[in-house]
Amino acid sequence: MKFKDEGYIVNLRRHGEKSLILTVLTRSHGKVTGYAKNSLSKKNLSVYQLGNLISVEAYARVDDNMLSFKSELITPFAVSFWGDSDKLRVLSSFCALSNACMPELEDLERFYYYVDSFFNLINEDNWLTHYCYFEFYLMDFLGIGLDLSECSATGTTENLAYVSPKTGRAVCAEAGEPYKERLYKYPHFILRQNYRPDASEVADLLKMTEFFLYKNFFAAHGLKFPECRVNLAEIVK
């Protein structure tokens, strides 16, 4: 096996004194993991950082063997997170979710757009909104997306206001009013492609995606939910 691609570093594990086992979320091959020889030398310290965009030349003599990587830095996105505790926490969450959820060597297709957007717009004032889009469409990519097309109680497509934690389906304002304290807010800004939502909308979305990612993916597969993702909505100002 041999291929070239580019992607974002989402996991680093030390291997011996000078090398790393590297996991990269790539444009055309999805999540790939491989051995990066001598990657801990002084000249490579700035290359191998979580969030950096790198080019990867991957190869293995036998398909079942671990890939070996030759890498070059494209964009040092890691520096955009340093010095900001909120951004670092969100980067940790992004990397943990990507590493745990993404299948190996599977084209991410349209979903990669949301990966790219998160990093390329990290210095914008609405950077957290782009992370919300990543989590929302991550659920869809994993096959655990929500059914937000109509009210599960009445069938109406109007005045949708809530999402049921039991079914993952939309609920209209009238049907949901008596139970609103137990329901999640309907993510209007996501479906309307609004990238300037209110802070409360961002917080509500992060609470909802945390619940469904845990319930429908991590718990369903017997996996431990990343601690760095827990209560991420707290960072919303």
Question: How much is the pLDDT for 78?
Answer: 97
Instruction: Please check whether residue 176 is in contact with residue 183, taking contact to mean a CB–CB distance below 8 angstroms.
Output: yes
Residue 142 banded pLDDT, cuts 50, 70, 90: very high
Indicate the angle between helix axes 127-141 and 112-120, nearest 10 degrees. 160
Write the pLDDT tens digit of every residue in 166-213.
Answer: 999 999 999 999 999 999 999 999 999 999 999 999 999 999 999 999
Backbone angles phi, psi at 130, to 5 degrees: -65, -30
Residue 10 corresponds to which tokens in the numbers above? 């989402």
Distance between CA 66 and CA 9 in Å, rounded? 17
CA angle 228, 208, 213 (to 5 degrees): 60
Residue ranges of domains in the chain, CATH in brackets: 2-80 (2.40.50.140), 110-235 (no CATH)
Write the pLDDT tens digit of every residue in 44-101.
Answer: 888 999 999 999 999 988 766 789 999 999 999 999 999 999 999 999 999 999 999 9
Percent of the chain whose pLDDT exceeds 90 = 89
Residue 135 corresponds to which tokens in the numbers above? 């989590």
Instruction: Please check whether residue 24 is in contact with residue 8, taking contact to mean a CB–CB distance below 8 angstroms.
Output: yes
Question: How much is the pLDDT for 60?
Answer: 86
What mean pLDDT is reported for the chain? 95
> How many CA within 13 A on the CB side of residue 109?
7
